[in-house]
Amino acid sequence: MSAENFSDEPTRLAETIVPLFARQAGAFTPVAAPDGSRVELITGADDQDDCAVFRLTGNHDLVVGTDYVRGPKFRLYEMGHLDEYDLGYYLVAANLSDIAAMGAKPIGLLSVVRYPAEMDDVLFGFVMKGIHDACAAFGCPNVGGDIGGAERLILAASALGVCPAGGALLRSGAKPGDVVCLTAPTGLAGAAMAYLRAGIPDPVIEGLLPSLLANWKRPVARIGEGLALAASGVVRSCQDTSDGLKATLLSIADLSGVGIAVDERAVPVPGSVAAVAAHVGVEPLALVLGDSVDFELVFTVPPCRVDELAESVDFHRIGEVVEEQEVVLVGEDGSRAALPGKAWRHQGGGDGKA
Amino acid sequence: MSAENFSDEPTRLAETIVPLFARQAGAFTPVAAPDGSRVELITGADDQDDCAVFRLTGNHDLVVGTDYVRGPKFRLYEMGHLDEYDLGYYLVAANLSDIAAMGAKPIGLLSVVRYPAEMDDVLFGFVMKGIHDACAAFGCPNVGGDIGGAERLILAASALGVCPAGGALLRSGAKPGDVVCLTAPTGLAGAAMAYLRAGIPDPVIEGLLPSLLANWKRPVARIGEGLALAASGVVRSCQDTSDGLKATLLSIADLSGVGIAVDERAVPVPGSVAAVAAHVGVEPLALVLGDSVDFELVFTVPPCRVDELAESVDFHRIGEVVEEQEVVLVGEDGSRAALPGKAWRHQGGGDGKA
């Protein structure tokens, strides 16, 4: 590794960013729909203009969202479990997860990377490389951004996606009778955090830790799944679980004006999450449903269409949309209870996610 | 004013943001072009979905950019010359200035507002009101964002705009012979900063201070001018002066592969800037050309078309594009010198602008 260098912004732009993000417009695979609609990237980050430019022809719904990721307060980073590359990667996944939840294809990401004076060129390069590699993994160019000094590491981004007109998956479309589905188990990210914050090493859980931490180090935005859900034409509502599964269910119910009956036996509980729950002394479903920052998708489908959807997308069926506007956990014996777990982080919380 | 309240995020979302940004989709004026191309807002911030949704039909160039604005390090805020409302307002103007520089019509802004524990609901409301009012002033809805706690006030945003396909004004199109134009004098923002940082009160400049600070408190993104420049069809390159006039000229020259001869006598020097320059002991052009964060537009036009453009847009003619790839200040006597002023803020700089 080279000696520490602390280049100024124009130098970092010229030496790190431009090479890393070169020839974007040429490398962009145009989005083309059967009706002739098309999206191209005309001016990318490497063109260093005031803005990036996309050309859209035909009929599109354009979806846009934004997410901030904590720097040093991002606790696992402070604790040494995540590095600068991981934070850059995470920033992209967190933002593209919102695009996935709309059933859209990501076309571009804008990133804000502000760094403290003690972050040298190598560490700065790791942040940008994490952003670059995640963008490559998810097929979405980093078309612009803002770099510069700050008191501490600050990461934020916005993401853009497109889908056929009328095809975006909203949170508000759930109807009574719909089956409530989940792309994959939740609670892994929260279990990693709970275990590491407890600070009591356990030999079994140490062995599970890499897989628990994978949700933080290489989180997956469910873009392919979101596109398949949108293409199916049978999904009535969808949201990602970045605020936790409980918060997601409450949000879909609230915005759709319905209730949800969650089947306690049907909610997947990974063994590693159960092991952490036992270790830290909470019930497993509190980790699975609580404020674990996973990027799975919750969606609802009419019961007569759910089997057909299962042929093209993997998911768990965890409950049913009901008329009564209440979200409850239904036990094997028919008992009804409030969902366990923390619903949403509050002012001052430091979980690393917006 | 009410007693201090420190509500959690869901409460601030429900009580401050949703009322402030209600009924966005209904209030959005569709962008409609003569060829039938159209932009509508389908799902706004008040719909609380994963993303906002625009519907684009026809042919569009979509331009997107992002800018971070410093919070407490924003020196004039720390010094008490700007308040929370002003910072919110500034965030929007800084981001929309990039859209203006592309000659595009803004259609949406995404904002990141993270606040320290000591910022109560009233101050948080001021930030959001500043964002809201600037968006209203510039005719661009705040379609989404990310709020939550942080160690300090952190503000960032991304902006979206549209223009007819092929109509975006790039930095790279300047040609030798073009007249270099500037929408209005620069240096005011930098003069305010230079005077206040010097800390030596002067009765004459105190009287000028409100007008100097106006560029910070109510900055104007030159959206109307940008649209007129793009519509004229005669503008070959354009950039905003948010990095300072010198940096802007250097950037256009660099990306266009040309040089620029700036006419020393033609660069407008406001009297208030000259007064500050004399007070702090620098040459006036160092403030006018240096890293003053104004949001004017620099653009280039073939000489045979510049008079016709002047009938619809106000601007100053400050120089000429030349073949030799050098940016110089040409004096009345024909002398050639490097442009005075600082070209770009460097790592660790704290001028309030990205």
Which among B297, B319, B82, B275 has a CA at the least distance from the CA of B178?
Answer: B319
Confirm or deny that A171 is annotated as ligand binding.
yes
Residue B350 lies in a domain: no
Which burial class, exposed, middle or buried, applies to A317 when counting CB atoms under 10 A from its CB (0-12, 13-18, 19+)?
A: middle
Does the residue A299 lie in any domain? yes
Q: Determine the residue of chain A that is closest to B348 in CA distance.
A: A149
pLDDT level of residue B300 (50, 70, 90 thresholds): very high
Residue B308 lies in a domain: yes
Question: In the predicted model, is pLDDT for residue B344 greater than 80?
Answer: no
Ligand-binding annotation for B178, yes or no, is no
Per CB-CB distance under 8 Å, the chain A contacts of B150 are: 68, 70, 73
Both B333 and B209 in one domain: the answer is yes
Task: Collect contacts of B124-127 with beta carbons under 8 A, ≥24 apart.
Answer: B124/B12, B124/B16, B124/B84, B125/B16, B126/B83, B126/B84, B126/B85, B126/B88, B127/B84, B127/B85, B127/B87, B127/B88, B127/B153, B127/B155
Q: Are residues A60 and A120 in the same domain?
A: yes
Does B2 reside within a domain? no
Mean pLDDT for B121-149 is: 94
Contact flag A110-B158 (C-beta cutoff 8 Å): yes
Considering only CB atoms, which chain B residues are within 8 Å of A144?
64-66
In degrees and rounded to multiples of 5, residue A106 shows phi and psi of -70, 140
Q: What is the pLDDT of residue A71?
A: 59
d(CA A218, CA A132): 13
Assembly ipTM: 0.91
A49, amino acid identity: D
DSSP state of A97: H
Q: What's CA A9's distance to the chain center, in Å?
A: 29
Residue B242 labelled as part of a binding site: yes
Please count the structural domains in chain B: 2
Nearest to B8 among A54, A65, A347 (CB): A347
Give yes or no: residues A132 and A256 share one domain. Answer: no
SS3 for B13? helix
Q: How far is A197 from chain B (nearest CA, A)?
A: 19
* Residue-level pLDDT at B350: 35
- A207 by Cβ neighbours in 10 Å (0-12 / 13-18 / 19+) ranks as exposed
A8 in a known ligand binding site: no
d(CA A238, CA A252): 8
Is B121 annotated as contributing to ligand binding?
Answer: no
Is-contact A225 A101, C-beta < 8 A? no
Among A53, A112, A147, A250, which would you mutate to test the B interface (most chain B Cβ atoms within 10 Å of its Cβ)? A53
CA dihedral B316, B318, B320, B325 (to 10 degrees): -130
Ranges under pLDDT 70 in chain A: 1-3, 71-73, 344-354
Q: Which residues, at least 6 apart from A98, have a Cβ–Cβ distance to it below 8 Å? A: A63, A65, A67, A159, A240, A242, B50, B51
d(C-alpha B213, C-alpha B265), whole Å: 26
Model pLDDT, residue B20: 85
The pLDDT of residue B308: 97
Specify whether the CB–CB gap between B312 and B228 falls below 8 A: yes
List Cβ neighbours of B78 (8 Å cut-off, separation of 6 or more). B72
Cβ-Cβ contacts under 8 Å for B108 (sequence gap 6 or more): A64, B41, B52, B54, B140, B141, B142, B143, B144, B159, B160
* Shortest Cα distance, chain B CAs vs residue A334, angstroms: 31
The verdict on B42 and B105 lying in the same domain is: yes
Q: Which residue of A has its CA nearest to B67?
A: A146
Is the Cβ–Cβ distance between B63 and B99 less than 8 Å? yes
Q: Rounded CA gap, A10 and A125, in Å?
A: 14
Flag whether A46 is marked binding. Answer: no
* Cβ contact B158–A64 (<8 Å): yes
* Of B135, B163, B191, the domain-final residue: B163
Sign, Cα dihedral of B165, B171, B177, B182: positive
pLDDT tens for B268-282 read 999 999 999 999 999
Helix count and strand count (H, E) for chain B: 13, 13
Residue A40 and residue A189 in one domain: no
- Hunting for tokens 């090479």 — which residue is that? A19
Cβ-defined contact of B114 to A68 (cutoff 8 Å)? yes
CATH of the domain at A111: 3.30.1330.10
> What is the pLDDT, as a whole number, of residue A157?
96
Q: What is the mean pLDDT of chain B?
A: 92
Sign of CA dihedral A140, A142, A144, A148: positive
pLDDT for position A239: 97
Q: How large is the C-alpha radius of gyration of chain A?
A: 21
pLDDT of B14 > 90? The answer is: no
d(CA B180, CA A202): 69
From A53, which residue of chain B is nearest by alpha-carbon distance? B63
Same domain, A71 and A111: yes
Kindly state whether residue B102 falls inside one of the protein's structural domains: yes
Search chain B and give the residue with CA nearest A111. Answer: B66
Taking one residue from A and the other from B, the number of pairs with CB-CB distance under 8 angstroms is: 249
Question: Using a CB-CB distance cutoff of 8 angstroms, which residues of chain B are in contact with residue A53?
Answer: 61-63, 102, 168, 170
Do B66 and A154 lie within an 8 Å CB cutoff?
no
Instruction: Check CB contact under 8 Å for A56 and B56.
Output: yes
By Cβ distance, the residue of B12, B48, B158 closest to A158 is: B158
**Does the annotation flag A44 for ligand binding?**
no
Task: Clarify whether residues A79 and A195 are in a common domain.
Answer: no
- Identify the DSSP state of A63: E
Chain B residue numbers touching A108 (CB-CB < 8 A): 64
A108: which DSSP letter? E
Q: Are residues B141 and B263 in the same domain?
A: no
Mark yes or no for CB contact B52/A66 under 8 Å. no
pLDDT given at position A72: 52
Beta bridge partners of A159: A65, A109
**Range of A124's domain?**
9-163
Burial class of residue B116 (count of CB atoms within 10 Å of its CB; 0-12, 13-18, 19+): middle
Predicted confidence at residue B143, as pLDDT, reads: 94
Which residues have CB under 8 Å from B261's CB, separation 6+?
B319, B320, B322, B328, B330, B336
Identify whether residues A200 and A134 lie together within a single domain: no
Q: From the list A63, A240, A255, which residue is nearest B53 (CB)?
A: A63
Say whether A62 and B56 touch across the interface (CB within 8 A). Answer: yes
If pLDDT is split at 50, 70 and 90, which confidence band does B348 have?
Answer: very low
- Whether A169 is covered by a domain: the verdict is no
Give the one of A70, A112, A168 whose C-beta lies nearest to B53's C-beta.
A168
Q: Is B50 annotated as a binding residue?
A: yes
Widest Cα–Cα separation across chain B: 66
Q: List the CATH number of the domain containing A312.
A: 3.90.650.10
Tell me, yes or no, whether B196 and B317 share the same domain. Answer: yes
pLDDT of residue B32: 93
**A188, A62: one domain:** no
Closest CB from B43, B104, B146 relative to A68: B146
B83 in the same domain as B195: no
Residue B266, domain member (yes or no): yes
Are residues A62 and B54, on separate chains, in Cβ contact within 8 Å? yes
A17: three-class secondary structure by DSSP:
helix
A194/A187 Cα distance (integer angstroms): 10
- B68:A110 CB<8 A: no
User: Per the domain annotation, does B270 fall within a domain?
Assistant: yes
Pick from A184, A162, A306, A183: nearest CA to A234: A306
Please state the length of chain B: 354
Separation in Å, CA of A249 to nearest CA in chain B: 13
B146 is in an annotated binding site: yes
pLDDT digits (tens, 9 = 90+) for B206-245: 999 999 999 999 999 999 999 999 999 999 999 999 999 9
A172 vs B contacts (CB less than 8 Å): 47, 49
Residue B352 has pLDDT above 80, yes or no: no
Residue contact A347–B146, C-beta within 8 A: no
The residue among B133, B163, B193 that closes a domain is B163
* Alpha carbon separation from B194 to A20, B80, B287, B344 (Å, rounded): 37, 15, 9, 16
Tell me the HSE value of A181 on the side-chain side, using a 13 A CA sphere.
26
